[in-house]
Amino acid sequence: MSHFRSLSLLALAMFAGCDSKITSAVDTDLQRRVETLVDCFPNLYARADALLAIADTWRQANSQPIPDPTGLTFQVNSEAGGTVVNVTYTTSGTTITMAIRFYSPTGAQQTLSLTGFTTLNATIDEAANQLRTSFGDTDKFMVGDYSISGGGITATGEALTGIIGGSTNQNELEELRTTATSSTISGGPPATEPSTITDSGPPSCALTFNIPGLLLDETPTQEYPIGTVTLSVAGPNATVTATITFDGSNTATIVVTDIPGSYAFNLDTRTRTFVP
């Protein structure tokens, strides 16, 4: 998998989709949706992109190590249940704090030896090594409970979950999900649910995204995601929703609700083509 910051690509595609063809429309409701994107989206997108920059370091089986984003620090700690990696990432006046925990296939938090690594990516990869030693090729998982604060941006009680697979010394981040937090775990990964980031404004806005299961390394040769992600941007006057469908190729399909046509988005060049 070359790069999986798919939410960021969705965000870019959704924003790029509102070109002059749409903004010149006379439909009042449509104009309100376009204005919501213009007013709300750029600030929220930047924070979603920062969140996915952390998740990007979860990738394994990479030809080159993944460096930590500038401004990210982490510390490995112990708690009553086991090992926790506490991450802090400050960028553009906003701080993301995340607590990453590691679990058996049945949801038992694990105690791991993760000292001595200088990057989050190397730490995550070693955690996957130790989980593989304990549980073989059965899917293990990790949960990153996170909050966001600063610059008028807030998110609380949110989480990303990564499903860890692979065997014979080849770790894989097979799947990424938005989920309930680790406190809800019972017998396996937490339930999938949307995540929301809010901006106090003005104007007051919210970005909600739902990743029920984005396949990232289902097969050794997979280069592009497989799955569907939904996203909505809510402002004072309208809510805009969209879906992006990944089919394992370098072209994703974006459909914005109530806006005619769709867009083919090239994941390599980050260019979009309108499909009437």
Q: Which residue has the tokens 């974006």?
A: 254
**How confident is the model over 101-124, as pLDDT tens digits?**
999 999 999 999 999 999 999 999
Spatial separation of the C-alpha atoms in residues 1 and 223, rounded to whole Å:
4
Confidence of residue 217 (pLDDT cuts 50, 70, 90): confident
Domain-wise residue ranges, the chain = 6-275
What pLDDT sits at residue 97?
98
**How confident is the model over 52-80, as pLDDT tens digits?**
889 988 987 656 678 899 999 999 999 99
| 32 phi/psi in degrees, rounded to 5 | -65, -40
- Supply 98's token pair: 């995340």
Q: CA geometry: angle at 39 spanning 33 and 35, to 5°? A: 30
> What is the mean predicted confidence (pLDDT) over 245-267?
83
Residue environment code for 3-35, b if the CB has 16+ CB neighbours within 10 A, otherwise e: bbbbbbbbbbbbbebbeeebeeeeeeebbebbb
Compare 223 and 254 and report the one with higher pLDDT. 254
What pLDDT sits at residue 12?
57
Query: Average model confidence (pLDDT) for the chain?
Result: 85
